[in-house]
Every structure is written in structure tokens, then in C-alpha cells.
Structure 1
Amino acid sequence: MAKALTLIMLIFVSMAGWMYGADTGSIGGITNMRDFQSRYADKYDAATDTYSYTSARQGLITGIISSGSFFGALFSSPLADKVGKRISIIVWAVVYLIGIIVQVTTGPSWVQLMVAKIWTGISLGGLSVVAPGYQSEVAPASLRGAIVTTYQLFITLGIFVASCINMGTHNAHKSAQWRIPIGINLLWGIIMIFGILYLPESPRYLISIGKDDEALRIMSRNNDLPVEDELIQAEYHIIRSDCEAELAGGPAKWSEIFGADIRYRTFLGLAIMSLQPLTGANYYFLYGTQVFKGTGIDSPYLAALILDAVNFVCTIPAPWVLEYLGRRWPLIIGGVWQACCFFIYASVGDRALYRKDGSSNHRAGAVMIVFSCIYIVAYAQTWAPAAYVIVGESYPVRFRSKCSAFATSGLWVWCFCVNFFTPFISNAINFKYGYVFGGTNILAAIVVFFCTRNGWSYFGGDQYTVYLRSQTLDAPYKAY
């Protein structure tokens, strides 16, 4: 019973992913709502009575949150080391709630909206590091990988639910169109705080501060096994040994994560997390309502809803894919698969979507939507979840928090770049932008292929082995 309760509560921690997904899924639709545009758009056409954004304004509205997330990811490490991951999650959730309140009460000034988005982004950046790390340290060993993967599953669920809410409110009265989708996000933060209150602190953190007995009790309860059980004792001694090694060397300094013994791991994790947004998913999730305006679908909100539904459903088998196929080959196959989809999408959009008279070819539009969905099928099962799992697996305990924060900061830097520059690039080259993402997907597959080999990752000359503790403690589990 205790194990089941722990699993349920750990899923509540995945609300951190939902909160990130909710912002991603809502902002693309919100920027197309009439009342929101009348307040924050900086261009108005009196002849057609329509509002629009300059590329800079739209890029900032959709992308500025990622700049805050960059700093939140870096701040997450010292806070978690000082007060533990459980308290850190509560702190970041409170920061998130404050940011949402400021967003939903924002007045006519778009500057207030930007400040609120940055503030909210700081919390999402911190949670993106701490929440998966906490899950991996508290979850029963036999279900650790599956539990951590729920973080990505909840990102997709948050995106999908946000699209459903946009669909239902975009014709609402005045500011209710966009204040409701933003305000509902308060619920997700409250749910996560409620869940974490019923969860214990990470056993690893407790052992690191000398509370071994409490850590053993938590490990025993989470696994529904007595303290004396061989599995509990073995896991305890592994964690204890890791913590002793960490304490013997003292807290890791930021400069140490670039030392000869660890820098390969550090930069490989950074590369994986940086390449994830460069695979192009946010192009659809943030700008889907605009991307598909000319494809024949009457409501661009419906097109975004279709993509988000496919994303959520196809994330469900992701734990199985990563559990049985490892990490390396799904990333390689996913990169090539996604590249092919983008090349076809770009070619059809550039050459066949619009006729010479300016009308759109609905058949070409249907092909573009189909291959967009096929892209999402691959992304949802490979690059979306695997990047987070890899960062959680790839670092020794002494360097884990700082290396994870450094790697995840790369994710947010490139999220901001993609989100901010997409309006500029799309206005300049339109659907040819898909060729850029096709190329970055090929690059991603090449990086994984050549930087990892034989199913294992080699970091600085040593073979880093992750143990699958659900079977035997000496059974090597492929990190990639």
C-alpha cells in the first residue's frame, strides 16, 4: 500500500512537466485571440480591422519565458543542495503561482506581461532540473525509469489540455478569452504542492546530511520491503558510498564539471539537451495555429489540437521504447525519422501549398498535416522523453546537480532561440524553415551515433554503467 501511495504522489511531482506543457500549449493560441491582440499586438490594419505582431514582439511574447527558465535551471542546483529537492520543489511551485497570478492580472502594458513570463520561467527552469531528479531518487528502483518518464508524459498532457482550453475559450467575451487559459494554470501548481506535501525527502539527501535511519525507513516504505531486506540494504550502501565519495571530495565546484574526468559527460549532456529543442517540436506547439492557416482547416485551433493529441497519445509507449530499446538507437532513429518528415513538410509547403492565384491547395495542406503528425509520433517516443532520462542517468552523484543544471540550461537557451527567432525566419523563408529543422535533426542523429558507441556511453575514457536494480545489482543497464 505504501508503495502504491508513493507512486501516486510521485506522479503529482510530474505536474511540473504539466505546468511547462500548459504554458507551451496555451501561448500559441492566446497570441491569436482577438482581445489579447488588441492589448498587446503592435500593428493594426484599419482596412481589415485586424491586429498583428512584429516579429520581435511575437518572438518575445512566446519565447521570453525560456530566458527565465535558463536562470532557474542554474539556480536549482545550489538551492537543492542546501535544502533538499522536496523543499526546492515547493519553493519553485510557489514562485510559479506568483508568476501566473501576475500574468492573469496584467493590465494593458505588455512589459508587465513580459516580467510575469520571465518570473514564471524561472520556476519552470528550476523544476525541470529538480523534479525529474527527485523522482529518480525517491521512486522504487524497479519503476524508476517509468516514473521519470511520466515527467515528459505530463508535458504532453499539459500541452493537449491547454489546446482544449484554448479551443473552448477563444470566442469567449473579451479578456476571458485568454485570462481563463492562463488562470487555470494556477490549479496545476496547487495540485503539485498538495502532492509533494505527502512525499518524503530524497533518501540520498537525507543520507548526505547524516539522517541514515530516516532514509532507510523511507526506502523501506517506498518499496514495501523491510529495512533488513537485501535489496534495501544494497541500495542503501550504494547511496551511502556515493555520498561518502562526494563528502570526501567536498561539494563540487562549477569549474570541476569541466575537469578531465567529467567534461565529456558534461558536454555530451549539454549537447543532448540543446539538440532536443532544435529538433523543431516547438515550431508546431507554439506556432501551430499560424502554421496551418493555409492548409484548409477552418479553425487553426483545431490543427493545434490534433497535433497535441497525437503528441500525448504517442508519449504513452515511450517508457517501453526506452526500457527495451535503450537510449542510443531511439535517438538515432528518431533524428532520421524526424528529418525526413521535415524535409517532406517543407517541400510540399514551399512548392505545392499555394497556387499562383494565392489560393491554397487543400490536398497539399493535408499532406503537411499528416507528416507533421508523423513527426510528432517519432518525437514523442524518442527525443522528447529520452533527453531528460539521459541527464538523470549520466552523472556521478558528486557532480549530478551541477551537471544536470548546466545541461538543462542549454535546453532553455535553445528554446528561447527557436521561440524568438521563428517569426523572423518564417517571415523570411516561410515553409523552407522546415529544411533547417531537417538539417538539425540529421545533426542530432550524427552526434548521438558518433559520441556514443556499442550501446554504451564512454565518458573521458571510462565506461559509465547504470545498474538495473530491479533485477541484479551487477547487471549492466545501457545508458544509451
Structure 2
Amino acid sequence: MARVLPIVMLTFVSMAGWMLGADTGAIGGLTNMRDFQERFADKYNATTDTYSYSSVRQGLLVGMVNTGTFVGSLLSSPLADQWGKRICILIWSVVYLSGILVQLTTQRSWVQFMCGKIWTGLGFGALSVIAPSYQSETSPANIRGAIVCTYQLFITLGILVGYAINIGTHSIKGSNSWRIPIGINLLWGVVCFAGTLCLPESPRYLISLGKKEECLRVLCNTSGLPPEDSMIQKEFKELDETVTAELQEGQAGWSELLSSEIRYRTLLGVCVMALQQLTGVNYYFYYGTEVFKGTGISSPYVAAIILGAVNSACTFLGVVVLEKFGRRNPLILGAAWQAACYFVYAAVGDRALYRKDGTSNHNAGTVMIIFSCLFILSFASTWAPAAWIIVGESYPIRYRNKCSAVATSANWTLNFLISFFTPFITASIGFKYGYVFASCNVAAAFVIFFFAKETKGLTLEEINTLYTSGVKPWNSVAYAKSVVEKRMQEDNALQNSIQVSTISNDSKLV
């Protein structure tokens, strides 16, 4: 029970993920609402009395948020180095809230709305770097993967709630149909800010400031062990020695990220985060209401809810999968599964969804929905959380903030490119677009097999040793297992020796 409160407190940071998910879940539905279209769309058909967007306008409204997230992810590093992660989470939460207010107060200027999205993106772009890194640094090694998974879990819950709110408001007349979903997003930022006020600073940052007693207290609070416990003392000593040694070299400069010491991990983080987007998941989440209009479902919002519910439910599975089976194998198998799903989705959509007379084949549409759900089942339980875990735990402290920022900026760059160019690409090649994502998933499986190393159960310091040891990625599962077993044996031996010493001293007293 001693750990319950620290774990609950750490998950408050995951509200940063909820904020991101709520924005993603809301925007696809907002662009289909009548009042929103009247104000911000640039095409009107008088015959049908309907509004629509040019590919450029839709791409900017949906995708420009990612320019903010890109910049925010890079700005997060120098601020976190100077002020620590806890303070930065509070600052960027305020930035997010101010961006929501800009969106909420927009009247008829689509440019103002887009600028509000960009400003909001600054907030959760920075938080997407800081939150998983903070959780990695503060969580005990044996539950670190599960804690960091809550960040992705909250993203999926935010997406689902965003979809549900859209269903409840899209039929409201007037601007409340889209202002209410945006206004509710203020709540998530307030919860993140208030929850973070209750959290301690990262123990590794405290060590870097020379606040060793406070660092020891944080380690005790998050592990549920007293300060005199041998395991706590051992962890504190290793942490103190490692951080002190690294910081004697000074904070790493941006150019050092490509030095021989860290280049491998820098490029791996960039590839993993870019490939997380290239799996094609946001093709569904940004444009889900459009994609399924022709599949026979009466309301596109219902299709979005189906995808969101599967996404959220399966992310709970990811918490278990990544702690039990590690990082490498789930990522490899997940990418293969996702490739197969996209191949089927693209083939059915391209060849069977629409008949020659233009009507929809509802049976084909059902197949597409099923394989979309199967794709999300895999993504939500593997690539969605695992990418954040790898970036959060792979770097030594003097490089961590900058490496995480660069890797995450790659994620947002691909996110923007996919969200912006998808309307153009689908207008040109339709469902053949799925073949592109299927091929990217195949490539992702090979990248993980040949370059990613297993880190399950290792402390952050042991992970650093793993990457400097020369162990081949395909041999790293056995290596990680042996390190964890050796550490447990040493901890047990130390506990036994302390118990024997205590018994001996008690006997002398008697």
C-alpha cells in the first residue's frame, strides 16, 4: 500500500497525454460540424447547402497544431535543464490553457483558430518530452514501463472522451456545438497543473542540484521503502555516483548528440518516434469521420467512437504486455500485425468498397472496420506506449532532455506531414494510401530487430551500460534478464547479511 499514493501521483503527469488526446479526438469531429464549417470552411455548394474545405484549409486546420508541438518539444530541453521537469510541466500546462482560450474565443477567423491550435501545440509538444522523461526518472525500475504506459493510456482516453463529447454536441445549433468540446479541454489542463503541484522534483535533477537528502526522500516515497533500507541505499549511491560523474562533463551541447558516445541512441529514438507515426494510426484518428462515411455506418461519429473505444481498451493491455514481454518482441510482432491489417484495409477499400454505380458495399465496409480495429488493437498495446518508453529511458542524464526533444520532434514532424498531406494523397490515390503505411510497418519491424535493445527491468544506469557494452540487439533480451537476476541475487544477499548481522548483535546484547 505504501506505493499506491506515489503511483497515483505519478499518473497525474499523464494528464499531459490526456490533453493531447482530447485535442486529437476533438478536431476531426469539429471540422464536420455545421456551425464550424459555416465559420471556417472555404467552399459552399448552394445546390446542396453544404460547406466543405479545400485540401489546404483542412490540412492547416488539422495539421498546423503539429508545428507548435515540434517547436515546443525542442524548447522543452533548455528549460528543463535549467528549471527541472516539475516546474516546466507547470509552465507548459499554462501555455496549453492559454492556447485553448484563443481557440474558444475565435469568432470567424480561421487564422485565429489555427494560431490557437499552434499555441496549444507548444504546450503539449513540450509536455510530450518532459512527462515521459519525468516518469522514467521518478519510477522504480520494476514498474517504470507500466508508469510510462499511463502517458499513452491517457492519450487514448482523451481521444475517446473527445469523440464522446463530439457525439453529444454535434447536433446542437450554433457555436456551442464546437465551443463546448473545446471549453471542456480547459479542465484537463487544470487537472494536470493542480496534480503536478503535489509531485516532487525528479530525483536525478535533485542530485544535480546537490539536494541529496531531498533526493533520498523522493526515492523512499516512490518505492515505499524507508531510507535505511539496503536497496534504497544502494540505489541512492549508484544514482549519486552516476549523475555526479556525468555532470562533471557539463551539460551536453546539441552538436554532441551525434558524437560517437550517443549517436546510436539519438538516431534510434528519432527512428522509433518517426515510425510510430508512419504506422498510420493518425490517418484514422484525424480523418476517421471522413474515412468511414462510405462504409455504411449511419453516423461518422459512431465510427470514431468505435475506434476510440478499441484504442483505449487495448492500451490497458499494453501496460501488461510491455511489462511482461519487454519492448523488442512486442514492437516487432506489432509492426508485422499492423502491416497485415493495412494491406487488407487498403485492398478492400480500393477494390470492393464502392461499386461501379457509386453505391457503397456495406459488407466491404464492415471488413474495413474490423481490420481498422485489429490494427488499433496491435498499435495501442505495442507501438503507442513502447515508443514513449524507449525515448524516456534510453539516454544518460546529461543527454536526456536534448535527445528526448530531438526524438519527439521527429514524431511531431511526421504527425504534421501525415495530417497535412493526407487530404491531397487520399484525393489522388484513395485507399491505396494504406499500402504506404503497410510498407512503413514492415520497415519498422526490421528497424526494431536490428537496432533496438531490450531494457525491461533495467535501471536507467543499467540501460546506459547496456548500450555501451557492445551487446547486439538480438542478444539483448538474454543480457537484460541476466543483469536483473544478478541484481536481485545481490539484493537478497545484502538483505540476508544485514539480517544475520542484526541477529548477531541482538545475541550479544542478550
TM over 0.5: yes
What pairs up with 1:231-270 in 2 under 5 angstroms?
Answer: 231-270=231-270
> Which secondary structure does the structure 1 equivalent of 2:293 belong to?
coil
Query: 2:487 is aligned with what amino acid?
Result: L
What pairs up with 1:265-344 in 2 under 5 angstroms?
Answer: 265-344=265-344
Q: What residue is the counterpart of 1:177 in the other structure?
A: 177
Q: Greater shift after overlay, 111-120 or 459-468?
A: 459-468
Query: 2:393 is aligned with what amino acid?
Result: E
Quickly say closer, same or farther: Cα 1:20–1:377, change in 2 above 3 A.
same
> Which secondary structure does the structure 2 equivalent of 1:317 belong to?
helix
Q: What residue is the counterpart of 1:445 in the other structure?
A: 445
Deviation at 1:222, TM superposition (A): 2.4
Q: What residue is the counterpart of 2:368 in the other structure?
A: 368
Query: 1:139 is aligned with what amino acid?
Result: S
Deviation at 1:325, TM superposition (A): 1.5
Q: What residue is the counterpart of 1:190 in the other structure?
A: 190
Deviation at 1:328, TM superposition (A): 1.1
Quickly say closer, same or farther: Cα 1:262–1:357, change in 2 above 3 A.
same
For 2:91 and 2:142, how far apart are their aligned partners in 1?
29
> Which secondary structure does the structure 2 equivalent of 1:102 belong to?
helix
For 2:214 and 2:97, how far apart are their aligned partners in 1?
31
Deviation at 1:140, TM superposition (A): 3.5
> Which sections of structure 2, spanning at least 5 residues, go unmatched?
457-462, 491-510
Quickly say closer, same or farther: Cα 1:225–1:467, change in 2 above 3 A.
farther
Kindly name which structure, 1 or 2, has the bigger radius of gyration based on alpha carbons: 2
Q: What residue is the counterpart of 1:112 in the other structure?
A: 112
* Per-residue CA distance 1:196-217 (angstroms, 9 max, x = gap): 1111111111111011011111
Whether the aligned pair in 2 keeps the contact of 1:12 and 1:192 (CA below 8 Å) is yes
Q: Does 1:462 align with 2:482?
A: no
For 1:104 and 1:472, how far apart are their aligned partners in 2?
56
What pairs up with 1:190-209 in 2 under 5 angstroms?
Answer: 190-209=190-209
Whether the aligned pair in 2 keeps the contact of 1:38 and 1:51 (CA below 8 Å) is yes
Quickly say closer, same or farther: Cα 1:77–1:9, change in 2 above 3 A.
same
Q: What residue is the counterpart of 2:406 in the other structure?
A: 406
Q: Greater shift after overlay, 444-453 or 414-423?
A: 444-453
Whether the aligned pair in 2 keeps the contact of 1:257 and 1:399 (CA below 8 Å) is yes
Superposition RMSD in Å: 2.0
Deviation at 1:286, TM superposition (A): 0.7
> Which secondary structure does the structure 2 equivalent of 1:106 belong to?
coil
> Which secondary structure does the structure 2 equivalent of 1:61 belong to?
helix
| Count of paired positions | 476
For 1:213 and 1:80, how far apart are their aligned partners in 2?
21
Quickly say closer, same or farther: Cα 1:455–1:237, change in 2 above 3 A.
closer
Quickly say closer, same or farther: Cα 1:368–1:84, change in 2 above 3 A.
same
Quickly say closer, same or farther: Cα 1:405–1:459, change in 2 above 3 A.
same
Quickly say closer, same or farther: Cα 1:244–1:467, change in 2 above 3 A.
farther
Query: 1:80 is aligned with what amino acid?
Result: A
* Per-residue CA distance 1:266-301 (angstroms, 9 max, x = gap): 101100001101100000001000000011100000
For 1:257 and 1:297, how far apart are their aligned partners in 2?
49
Q: What residue is the counterpart of 1:135 in the other structure?
A: 135
For 2:112 and 2:66, how far apart are their aligned partners in 1?
16
What pairs up with 1:92-103 in 2 under 5 angstroms?
Answer: 92-103=92-103
> Which secondary structure does the structure 2 equivalent of 1:108 belong to?
coil
What pairs up with 1:31-46 in 2 under 5 angstroms?
Answer: 31-46=31-46
Quickly say closer, same or farther: Cα 1:471–1:39, change in 2 above 3 A.
farther
Deviation at 1:453, TM superposition (A): 6.8
For 1:386 and 1:378, how far apart are their aligned partners in 2?
12
For 1:67 and 1:473, how far apart are their aligned partners in 2?
44
Deviation at 1:474, TM superposition (A): 6.6
Whether the aligned pair in 2 keeps the contact of 1:142 and 1:470 (CA below 8 Å) is no
Q: What residue is the counterpart of 2:435 in the other structure?
A: 435
> Which secondary structure does the structure 1 equivalent of 2:32 belong to?
coil
* Per-residue CA distance 1:362-416 (angstroms, 9 max, x = gap): 0010001000000000100111111000111211222111111111110000000
Q: Greater shift after overlay, 239-248 or 190-199?
A: 239-248
Deviation at 1:173, TM superposition (A): 1.9
> Which secondary structure does the structure 2 equivalent of 1:431 belong to?
helix
> Which secondary structure does the structure 2 equivalent of 1:249 belong to?
coil
* Per-residue CA distance 1:105-148 (angstroms, 9 max, x = gap): 11211111111111100111100010111112222343222111
For 1:432 and 1:134, how far apart are their aligned partners in 2?
40
Quickly say closer, same or farther: Cα 1:251–1:397, change in 2 above 3 A.
same
Query: 1:126 is aligned with what amino acid?
Result: A
Deviation at 1:327, TM superposition (A): 1.0
Q: Does 1:23 align with 2:23?
A: yes
For 1:384 and 1:113, how far apart are their aligned partners in 2?
28
Instruction: Return the TM-score normalized by structure 2.
Output: 0.90
Q: Greater shift after overlay, 251-260 or 131-140?
A: 131-140
For 1:397 and 1:474, how far apart are their aligned partners in 2?
24
For 1:82 and 1:166, how far apart are their aligned partners in 2?
40
Query: 2:214 is aligned with what amino acid?
Result: E
Query: 1:177 is aligned with what amino acid?
Result: S
> Which sections of structure 1, spanning at least 5 residues, go unmatched?
none
Deviation at 1:466, TM superposition (A): 6.8
Whether the aligned pair in 1 keeps the contact of 2:143 and 2:323 (CA below 8 Å) is no
* Per-residue CA distance 1:131-187 (angstroms, 9 max, x = gap): 111112222343222111100000000000100000110001211111111110000
Q: What residue is the counterpart of 1:473 in the other structure?
A: 487
Query: 2:187 is aligned with what amino acid?
Result: L
For 1:14 and 1:475, how far apart are their aligned partners in 2?
33
Whether the aligned pair in 1 keeps the contact of 2:296 and 2:362 (CA below 8 Å) is yes
* Per-residue CA distance 1:435-463 (angstroms, 9 max, x = gap): 11111111111211222478999757734
For 1:168 and 1:275, how far apart are their aligned partners in 2?
34
Instruction: Return the TM-score normalized by structure 1.
Output: 0.95
* Per-residue CA distance 1:332-366 (angstroms, 9 max, x = gap): 11111111111111111111111111110100100
Give the % identical residues. 60
For 1:475 and 1:173, how far apart are their aligned partners in 2?
66
Query: 1:386 is aligned with what amino acid?
Result: A
Quickly say closer, same or farther: Cα 1:451–1:144, change in 2 above 3 A.
closer
For 2:139 and 2:260, how far apart are their aligned partners in 1?
32
Query: 1:358 is aligned with what amino acid?
Result: G
For 2:480 and 2:138, how far apart are their aligned partners in 1?
17
